[in-house]
Each structure stands twice: as C-alpha cells, then as structure tokens.
Amino acid sequence: MNKPTIHHRRSQYRLLGVVGQGQFGRVFCASHRHSGQIVALKCLEHERFSTHNFLRELRFLLGLQHPNIVPCYALEHTSTARYLVMDYAEGGTLRTLLESNCGLNLGQGLKLLLDILAGLGHAHGQGIVHCDIKPENILINVHPYGWTARLSDFGIARLLQDSSRLAGGATGSPAYMAPERFYGEYSPASDVYAVGILLYEILVGSRPFAGTPGELMAAHLNEVLTIPLSVPPPLGKVLTKSLRKLPGQRFHTAEEMSTAVQQVMSQLSASTLHNLLHRLPAASACPPVIILQQSLDQPVNKVIPSFSPTGIAWAAGPKLTWILLNEASKATILREPIVDVWGCPDRYLIATDQGLYHWKPGSVARQVLSLPPHCQVVVEPRGDWFATFSPTGSKGATLRFWKSADLGAPPVIATLPRIPRSYLLVPDRRHLVILTAKTARPGEATPSPGMILRLYNRRGQYLGSWSLPVLLEKLVLSYRDYRLLGTDPLNPYCVVIVDLKPFRIRRLYLGFLPVVLAALPWGFALANPEGAISLFDNYGESVGQIVWPTPVTITSISALDAQTLVVGTWDSRHGLLHWLDLKRMGLDLVF
C-alpha cells in the first residue's frame, strides 16, 4: 500500500535570527517572503506552553490594541511549534537599553516609564493584570529622536475578575514582584509596584533589592526602601509611594502614577532632564606608538589594505599610491580624481567619475568599464562581482550586476524608481543593500525622518524593503557580516549600529562629534575633531582612546591587521601616514 504524501506548508516568513529566549520558547526576527516586512515570531513550544495558556495569551493580545503594547497579527503553525506573529522591536529590550552606552538621559528615561504606564493603564482597563513587568518584557522601538517602550509577554497575565482566587503560586520574576505576589495575590497595584522597581533601576542603575529568590522575597516583604541621594527628591517621593509594602498605600492605578511622574517632570529644570543616566567612565587615554611614518603631499581620505600582508594603498586626488613597509612607494596617476578604491585578493579596483579600473602595483591601471554620469559603484569584498547604479531619465534608475571574471557577458539588470541620496553596500558575498532617505508620502508636506533599506541578491532579485527609523550618514561596513555603522545627523554625538541579521538598531553615545569612522577586525574606531581616536569592540564597549601629544586633523583610519592601524593626518600644507602598534599601547583589548 502506498503511504499518503504529507505536504508541509512553507512558512511565509524567512528567519533572520534568534532575538530572545523565554521560559516558554524562543523569539525570532523574521521577514515576510513577499513584502519584506520585519516581524517577530514568538515560538510557544507544545511541551512548554499548554494549549490553554497559548489561547489565553492570544486572547489577551487580540483584545489589547494600544501604541504601548506589542500587537499580534497572525498565527503560524508547524508540526512542532506554534508562532505568534507580532510587531518587531528593532531596539531590543529595556534591559538592552539600560546596559548599553546609549546616552539615555533622565527625561528620556521618564518618557519610557510613561510609555509603560500608558500600556498598563490600557491593560488594566480591559481587566488584565500583566504580572511579569520587568526590563526583559519591555520592548523598545527606535524613532529619530529617541525610543518608545511597549509591553510584551502576557504569558502569565491574569484577569481581574479572578483576583479573588489564588493564581496557583508565585509565578513571575522575584526581583520585580510585589509582596502580595509571593502569596499568589495580584491586582493593578502589583503591576504598579513592578513599575516602581523599574523606575528605581532607570534612575540608579541597579535594583533596590538583590539576592536569591528567598532573599528577594524577604526583602520585598520586610526591608525598608533606601532612596540614594542622587535621585531628585520629587522622584524619590514617587518611588516611595509606588514601592509601599501594602497595595492600598501605593498608587491605585497606572494613570495615577503617570500623573505624578508628569507633575515631577514639569517641576524639574531642562538641564536636569537632560542629565545623562549612568554615564560610563572615560576610556583610558594612550599616546600613539608609531612604528613607521610616510610623508604626504595631499590629504588622504581612504587607506586600503593590500593583498600583500605588509602593503597598503591610499587614494589622494587622481593618484593612488602603494607601499610595502620599509620600501619606496609606487604610484599610478589617472586622468580623473579617484572616487573609491577596493582592495581585492589579487588587485585593486578603482572607481572614478568616468570609469572602473583594474590595477596591480608596478603596472598601468587598465579601464575595464566606462561609467555613465552620476553612476555609483560597489564591489563584493573578494572582487568576484560588482554592481553599478545609475539614473535613467527623470524617474528611473538601473542596477547592474557584473561578473569580474567575464566582463564581456551582459550584466544582470534590475530597474527601480529613481532614488535620491543613495548608499550602496555589500553586507555579504551574495547580497546588495541600497539605503535612501525617506521621501514624502502623498499628502505629507515633509517626510518623516528615516531611511528605506532595499535588499537585492546578486542575481538582481528584489528581496524586500525595510524601514529604518533613523537617518544615517558616513556609512561604513563592519568586518562582521550584515552590520553597518553610521553617524546620525539628528543626534550628532551618537553613532548608530545597524545589524541586518537579525535586525537591530543601537545608538552609541560618544560625547564628541565623530568626523572619521572606520571598521576594524575586532570593532571600530572613531576620530573626533581634535584628533583623538576612540576604539570600541564589537559589543560597543570602549577599549581605549589614542591621543596625540598635540591636536591633529585625522583624514583616514584603516586596519592593516588586528593590531596595526594606519592613520592619515593633515595640516594646511602637508601630511603623514602613521603606522600604529595597538598591542604596545596598553588598551583594554586582548590580541
């Protein structure tokens, strides 16, 4: 007898990575296969999450429609799991925000708290008590000038109509549980208590009580709250009332606590509200250890590591110069200024306004492609293929993909609307990204700040577009696949790190204006107008600062290898290339 054929329906979503792990399953970042929309897929595994609980959380989510609550759109089923399709939070969780050097100030922290209280007020109005308020369950969406907080994970939420009965044990997170929660009782005041713990953590950088679950229970029940002197007194009063041991002595509703916080914000000065929370200590400053210098007759804007382990090339005007350490430099001069240069395993590719050239040191640059006016070029890191992007008429543009080994073959062509102010980037060997500023929608006087990211594969197939709620300039690609780094003109003392797989956006507060950005094998480097170079690892943690004895103007930074930087400096008449030995500088970095 023939066995019946079982057809498994293909998921509508393409997984981009795991972004969270809860007690009931994992949360994935995913994109819709046709629209490219980014969503969160919350996996609720059968063996960990009963059908009853699954349906109860789904009912809560479908009944809660509020800007500060993460909504559920649909369900996805597989043979082993069920997925809730939900809005995606590109900023991660409140825990991520609190632990990062994002530059969160007091006003922004209190605004996030008001977001949380607004979402809770709506849930309480629908008769639902969340019962698990903590930073990991507060998701963060990025917007051009800050962040928005949204409630998630109603997996152990309870209905107010059932509050007279015990909830079956003290489920939740002990560090954020109100005293009555340890006895299975709950009410809106229980959520208010948890928000009080969040407020304490936002203001102080740590929770008021710590220890094992048993020690936390004893502290919540009996320990007297201590408010640090660093907390403004009006906010200390809000903290004290929200963290009373008895529910009847707290704020009775989320709205009441929200009103109290807003009144305090109106009393505080603008300078106090702009004070940074949890400012990180300054990075240790080290003088540069210079192992070689090369004189320059023009400013260098780009240094490119060579396919030779000890060589580099640099572009200045119409000249590309190549040097091996301790040997005389060699140069090639083109007829037009160099726009960009890429170092491939066996050659350099040079783009000018008029053409694309192949060049090897000691030979003559050979033009391999003529370029139309206003054409942009981007090259795959190994040089196997490159793409050109050029306008065609007033409303269109053409994207062409070329094989470097067979330039005589016709390119793969994709047509798209004309896109102003575009950046072309190759995040890995198979894909190309076009980033553009948002344009005004019909009826809009001005577009909302942000960018559109369009993704193509090397065969010219359009894979979808994503909306980035930030503006980016001076974009560079990280050594990590799918990671971009750029400045934010709306927040000039920050840089923005964008991960495409999974999709994440992080702001990194610098305290200075970044004028030069560079990717390094283990992180990135940023130069300020005075010539100091701040170094960060791949997690955004500062590992030190390079400070010249006298101020210099830095025009370029590049990594020759993991421990050698090549830095270009320039004054009004001459410049230098400096080879720096990072290993000998005492940085907080293990080589």
Question: Whose structure tokens read 């940074």?
Answer: 276
Tokens read off for 298: 């023009």
Tokens read off for 140: 């963060």
Q: Give the model's pLDDT for residue 265.
A: 96
Selected catalytic residue, list 115, 132, 153, 488: 132
The order of strands in the sheet holding 72-77 is 13-22, 25-32, 38-45, 81-87, 72-77
Claim: this prediction has a pTM higher than 0.85: yes
User: In this structure, are residues 463 and 475 in contact, taking their beta carbons and an 8 Å threshold?
Assistant: no
Of the candidates 400, 401, 404, the one whose C-alpha atom is nearest the C-alpha of residue 384 is 404
Of the candidates 196, 189, 174, 191, the one whose C-alpha atom is nearest the C-alpha of residue 247 is 189
Q: Give the model's pLDDT for residue 306.
A: 60
Q: Give the model's pLDDT for residue 57.
A: 67
Q: Give the model's pLDDT for residue 48.
A: 59
Tokens read off for 54: 């699954």
353 is catalytic: no
Determine how many CB atoms are found less than 10 A away from the CB of residue 334.
Answer: 19
Q: Give the model's pLDDT for residue 231.
A: 93
Q: Give the model's pLDDT for residue 10.
A: 61
Q: What is the 3-state secondary structure (H, E, C) of 214-277?
A: HHHHHHHHHCCCCCCCCCCHHHHHHHHHHCCCCHHHCCCCHHHHHHHHHHHHHHCCHHHHCCEC
Query: What sections of 268-391 are H helices per DSSP?
Result: 270-273
| Residue type at position 553 | T
Q: What is the pLDDT along the chain (591 residues), one digit of tens a residue?
A: 444 433 345 678 888 889 887 666 788 998 888 777 889 998 876 665 556 666 666 777 777 889 999 988 877 776 666 788 889 999 999 999 998 888 899 999 999 999 999 999 999 998 889 989 999 999 999 998 899 999 998 877 777 766 544 444 557 789 999 999 998 888 999 999 999 999 999 999 999 999 999 999 999 999 999 999 989 999 999 999 999 999 999 999 999 999 999 999 999 999 999 998 876 667 788 899 998 888 877 788 777 766 555 567 776 667 767 666 556 666 777 777 888 888 887 788 888 888 998 888 777 888 989 998 888 999 998 888 999 998 877 778 899 999 988 888 889 998 887 776 688 999 888 999 999 888 766 666 667 788 988 889 988 888 888 889 999 999 999 988 889 999 999 999 999 999 998 999 999 999 899 999 999 999 999 999 999 999 999 888 888 999 998 888 999 998 888 899 999 898 888 888 899 999 998 887 776
Domains along the sequence of the chain with CATH = 13-87 (3.30.200.20), 94-273 (1.10.510.10), 285-584 (2.130.10.10)
Question: Whose structure tokens read 């962040």?
Answer: 147
User: In this structure, are residues 453 and 468 in contact, taking their beta carbons and an 8 Å threshold?
Assistant: yes
User: In this structure, are residues 501 and 16 in contact, taking their beta carbons and an 8 Å threshold?
Assistant: yes
The full DSSP string for 54-94 is HHHHHHHHHH---TTB--EEEEEE-SSEEEEEEE--TT-BH
